[in-house]
Structure 1
């Protein structure tokens, strides 16, 4: 649309102003305005800027025409043509400073006026276009964080336009500085590189492209990228390097973050997949390929194989699609296979990623390998519910199954039987044949019990030599009795172990639901009670629970009375097992072991004595008798054999806790006449922990002069700090470690470690359970060690210990 030119006349003489206005109208300028004062003209310019101003220099008022022109806002770019009848030098100098578009000396012709106005308007159009171009360029450079720079090669002056400085991104006018000043703001580590680029451009004239750092006001860094080229001197300009500088600090930080993210992406232990909206894999990290065994060929451009409709159940796959559609998130643990067919457990998490407009762009899937964790959980679950030796259910699982059997019985009205089985004299097997043989006996017993039970029965090992058998849907109690007889008879069949023929006997207690109890715990407890009743009846039998039975009372009362009577009737005896000096092969001591000549049951070992003694309180009295008898016998041997024989006795927890135990030992030594250094008191590892009373007793015993030894060393939870600080003189390495030498490297290493520890602490060492020539050959090479075991003799009555007791005959 045509825009009429607006001409403003600033003239204080009305006649001249009117004449000038008429001239303009004749020349075709349709829109004019007249003002006779400078301030009035400036206010009118603010309201309605004209396209051009005809300004009289000498006008009335506080400011003249030149001052009025100087007050026009520069950004309006309004051309000013001065009209004056005078052209003094001083006036011209003042007028030039306002950069007018023309100067007409009055009087002038219409043609002259028209030509001057037209040239001014054309110049204004060009300047407006140039200003717009410069603004666009400046805005573009600011938006791109760029500046234009020029280096005069001869003077090394640098001119920058665009970015005011390296540390502040702002639009500014051209800044001139020296090359050295510019280099001062370059990071010291990058200055040589910048100098090299400058020199390269001068000598080669080619483009250079470098990235360097500059120092901001806070002594931080900003990253800049500079590109430029040498332009040779010509007729109008000197040799210059001209180029652009761009601030890439944000890009650099983004690149650093991307590199960090890529490092995490490639080094994380979890597999990471990038999926398109259709769940096809577009990228996968190394961990994913390692976890699944897949490769890029069978992974990319396909959905992950473990979430396909063929792998996931229909409901689960439907849930996956629905979750990703609605929540953009899905999490699931999956048991699947790797590409080699091996089982793996994966924790899968898929997360949707949207753009700024909320449109789904892709999914990220995180694949965590939980195979090892799942296997460990399964192993822990198994260990929590099954016996490690026999693989039978343990007490926890048996109790749970009994609860379920009771629930089913309530619905059917049938009987549930609990058979509590205990192997008779099992402690003797462990003591005489060793724990390894005991484990084999347990395995044989479990196999034979399973052989005579039904598939639906639950056979559980409760611990030690105790088993629980649960049978459902019994029609009568006779069926339970028949099952108990079958088990007892099956266990009595001979078998061979460690070269010896053996038979087992068992005592079984039986309780019934609902006849005897309504809870699983009560049923097991009552069956246990009945089992002790079976033992009291002579073993190798079973007993039904009877209401008059109370928990263990009858058994322990009877046996404790028998034990007290046995103590009074001298039924308790000591057997002695030789201890041999490995170097001389001579007996240097014996260990006193308690036995009971029971009137009905024959010779009973510690397993039939110690538990009753502990619970009845007889252990202290019996323990004092053992010390008395052992000291007296050792003194007798020393007199008869003229040999300094040492005797070792075991002390119980109750003895060590009893008040005055050390004084009692001292009293028995005095009565027997045995020097204190020939009495060795053995304690277990669990007895040397930080209980104050027991530690005090140990020190009191050492003051008496007796030797203190740790029995079954290595099988408990020894505290080396306690061993070092307590008055322990000897350790007895348990037979569990001796049985594997010299063939088992683990046992050899453990024994050597114990020997090294003992040597460092100045402790004597006895090896228990020496049963073979190979064990003896290995151990005899150890300086100062003593040996004890069946190879040198079983525990025997005192009468069978002679002055010539020696293992030499065994090795001849």
Structure 2
């Protein structure tokens, strides 16, 4: 059989490559449309894409066949040509289906490439069989063409899958480059297959219907038509993408809006022009307590009944104004169907489209806790946190208002300043927690005492209370109120399983006689209150001009006292403690005095209360303790009697941290042995047994003696005498003063002496001024005394002259 050779039309070959590139580019674009579509739309894009891509590949193949010129006329079997078209479309359908998946595994890629290569190979060789001429194939080149088809399919599927989502930078040029590679691979397979074909000069009959085609013009016609079709496809894809981009943008905006709407922490209700609810979020249902079925498509008026009645009309007016394009906001409250009340902040926002109001948003949030917090802050700003009473700020405002009203009505009002006597002792010894409980009870008692009067009670801080008394009939009314308060405060307080007693000191100032503003009225009432304390506490006092002079002196004294220690103005006097049998000195008490540069010698009763109020007592107490120890050590070194020195310990010193170490440091510094130091404490310091026991046992372990001063004047339990290491009991001078005339005082003193002796304690009486007092004490076997009968407090030099020098002479 004669073998014939042909030639190629280079222009048509070029056209076939261009068709392959455009078909590849179209496939890459179509893959993206398929992957982003769903349902029927996805199937439509698959069919359209398969047709466009398949026709493009087939056209490339057929134009490539027509580009091959043989010296004889070639007829084509039209039905087989059409079958090759179907094969191309089916292969394209498989390719687009594979790359349209969400994932593409290696197995899926190879399987899809194998099917696509099979389809392309079938298309090519079925198309070749449509030529009505005998053709044989070189096996090796034939197999190579199939392998090229498989490689081209792998590359085509991977690139199509890679570019299917789009959005990469430089996507157009990447797709064009990939299309050129894919086109070259497809063309390479086709022309490799053509090289494998051997044409023989003998014809064969058509199986279906044979036609003669003008190869040149038909090829140009097919190439032009295919390019036009692919161009229309790409243009359609471009338009579709633009529309899809718009749709996607709208969809994304809707999703953003819906996400904001649904995830907002505020309740949102959408209302149309007919005032019907058309949408709402879950928060709106949670806040209102309604169900979705009860709300949707319902008139907003039917749902507004939960708004508190006093706000309904105002809310309605604001809602109506929204449809005039106005935005409004208000705070209101609702009563939910379950009875729960919520405070809401509500905003009415018009929905405006193209300049027209088409509806309204009702946006609301729960501000119940926020309002409660504001109310609490406002309350705390004007009320005492512990007792709930008005505080200083609110009381000052009340006085200012009273001044304004009284100035117009020409009336008067009273300001009372009340201070609890001995509160500091309770607070220091029992702790702040018990002190707070005590203050709450005190405030309740004062409120109850004043409930029949037109009074405003406030706590100014600590244990200081103030009262504003208005519309009283006379000064007697104010006095009656003060007496009633004092009486109620005197009743015992049950604290830590024990009864405690306190009293109150009240100072009173009157408007307008004692001041024309809050500052002056409070200052003058405070001055009167301190005068009560100075006179022994537990009473009341109206302000007088003389008291103002006393206050100024007190302020001056405070300023001078702060400099007294460093200036060396303090000094010690010493009062001997005597044994009655032989009048021998058995001890000595150190008493502080102040040599004021202009006022002369001042007793402790004048400046010690000031020191305790200002906190100077610790510095003064330390100086007294060190000075007393130094003096006693000096007397011991000079041959004086080996007797102890007694030093009063203040409450602040007693409750300081590491008291025992503090005392021992002073003893070590001065060189005095601990057995010669006797610390005098009061019953009030021992109220908290657990704290006091630890302190006193430490002092006792160091060899320091403890003396209980002013015994019988406090309110503590007698059980303390056996609980604590107390060495000496000191009978207070208040029982000694009238002992010769008052049988009660005599009985008390006798009882104290007997009790101390039974407990193996020393007992000493102070304040002995007459022989009659001494005789009664001796009859009751009290052998140790201290008082003016034997000696008043003396300077160190006078003590030496009166007691130490004479005893040395006798010894000598």
Structure number with greater CO (CA < 8 Å, separation at least 6) is 2
